[in-house]
Amino acid sequence: MSDTAQVQPLRVGLVGHSFMGRIHAQAWQTAPRFFELSRRPQLTTVCGRDAERANQFAEAFGIGRVETDWRALVNSPEIDVVDICVPGDLHAPIAIAALEAGKHVLCEKPLANTIAEAEAMAAAARTARSAGVRSMVGYSYRGTPAIAYARQLVNEGRLGTIRHIRAHYLQDGIVDENFPLVWRLQQEKAGSGALGDIGSHLIDMAAFVTGQSLTSISALTETFVKHRPLPDSVDGLAATAGEGMGAVTVDDAAVFSGRTNAGALATFEATRFATGRKNAMRLEINGSGGSVSFDFENLNELWFHDHTLPAAEAGFRRIHVTESEHPFLDAWWPPGHGLGYEHAFTHQAVVFARAIGSGADPSPSFEDGLYVQRVLSAVQASASDGARLTPISSVAD
């Protein structure tokens, strides 16, 4: 901006101060330092039920105001954006109240715990949109430059007709059977397990890159460890076990396959039991004219195969996605100086702030979140319907 004095503030209130809260706080504070924005984000308020921890968070991030009731934040005239980083069972009431109060809303994924909640949130977003109020769901991996560039290659027709979508997300964070029963393992708070926590990213990412949506699926889920120690204390993703045991009411792993509205075949796997895998989120798209392959554990690389080349010189080649021409990279470091996990959240904040500043509808929208929610529910329904599974022994020669 030629005259920074003319930049309007965008006052952000953050609901939640655990793992996601920290990442979002850093993103809001980093975005205006590297990107040109017509509305300059200012993280002014944090809200959390534990006043002591909320105050510690506020001190760490230089936030001037602390609330312990999200309603006070939502109804404050000093807040422009409500950023929701709490368990899924709270998404709908906070988001709907914030939209009705005229606040822009960024809501962590998955959008809700049920289709009914997601539909209500999408309806509230549509109503608010007519009054200039914007909303966005936090599928942050869209802000990974290599993923955004893969979408660009598909849009340019470099892959031809898409025939296969292959995606999996592998973690091993809860392999230890003594890992405590945190909220992510409770259906009433999280909605689902690996399916919603990490599988939702795969569903959104596949739709984002290909522009296609699933129309039918077949699925299996499994809960490998059905009872865990009750937690003694929880801080973000860190937790310690206390006394007593409780039931795990979500899936530990999900595998599903389906067909898209353009006829492509798609396969997905999400698990938190892949020993040795920490954050192996992978996507491969195969088309008639080429393929792309991405692995988040090498997040600055995209592998591209141009099938129009002669066979003697064809094959996958590495694209180091760090050039200024690549998505988001013109604001960062010289080529070859890679980005990290946190940068995708900064890009998410930039996309949302720019949409608010220009009066545009940001993406991913609450409608995009509703689509993912429908797929999640379809996976759960398919996995619970044992009659749809054909026993191998019953197949005749």
Kindly report, residue by residue over 140-152, the tens digit of the pLDDT: 999 999 999 999 9
Write down the pLDDT at residue 2: 44
Structural domain count, the chain: 2
pLDDT of residue 234: 56
Considering the domain architecture, whether residues 49 and 193 belong to the same structural domain is answered as: no
Out of 140, 161, 183, a domain closes at 140
> What range defines the domain where residue 247 resides?
145-298+300-339+375-381
User: How does pLDDT run across 306-323, given as a tens digit for each residue?
Assistant: 999 999 999 999 999 999
Residue 367 placed within a domain: no
Distances 377 to 25, 77, 299 between C-alpha atoms, Å: 31, 37, 29
In a domain, 23, yes or no: yes
Say if CB 108 and CB 114 are below 8 A apart.
no
CA distance 182 to 53: 18
In the block, residue with structure tokens 């290909």: 210
* DSSP secondary structure letters along 205-248: HHHHHH---EEEEEEEEE-S--EEEEEEEEETTEEEEEEEEEE-
3-state secondary structure of 52: helix
Taken as a whole, the chain contains a residue count of 397
Q: What is the pLDDT, as a whole number, of residue 5?
A: 53
How open is the CA angle 70-73-75, to the nearest 5 degrees? 110
Task: Give yes or no: residues 114 and 155 share one domain.
Answer: no
Q: Would residue 135 count as lying in a domain?
A: yes
Specify if 155 maps to a domain: yes
CATH code, domain carrying 272: 3.30.360.10
Q: What is the pLDDT of residue 166?
A: 98
Shared-domain flag, residues 176 and 263: yes
Among 250, 188, 209, residue whose Cα is nearest residue 379:
250
The count of other CB atoms within 10 Å of the CB of residue 61 is 17
Looking at the structure, do residues 134 and 200 belong to the same domain, yes or no? no
Predicted local distance difference test score (pLDDT) of residue 243: 73
Helix axes 366-384, 200-210, angle to 10 degrees: 120
pLDDT tens digit sequence for 192-247: 999 999 999 999 999 999 999 999 999 999 999 999 999 875 554 556 666 789 99
One domain for residues 91 and 226: no
Low-confidence ranges of the chain (pLDDT < 70): 1-5, 233-242, 386-397
Q: Are residues 129 and 253 in the same domain?
A: no
CATH number of 29's domain: 3.40.50.720
Same domain? For 188 and 106 the reply is no
| Judgement on whether residues 149 and 117 belong to the same structural domain of the protein | no
Question: Is the distance from CB of 104 to CB of 82 less than 8 angstroms?
Answer: yes
Of all helices (H) and strands (E), which one includes residue 106? strand 104-108
For residue 7, give the DSSP letter: P
Which ranges in the chain belong to alpha helices (H)? 19-34, 51-61, 70-74, 91-100, 115-129, 145-155, 187-190, 194, 200-210, 341-358, 366-384
Residue 228 lies in a domain: yes
**Distance of alpha carbon 248 from alpha carbon 18, whole angstroms:** 22
Q: Are 231 and 180 in contact (CB under 8 A)?
A: yes
Tell me the per-residue pLDDT of 333-360, one tens digit each, with 9 for 90 and over: 999 999 999 999 999 999 999 999 999 9
Tell the burial category of 144 from Cβ atoms under 10 Å away from its Cβ (0-12, 13-18, 19+): buried
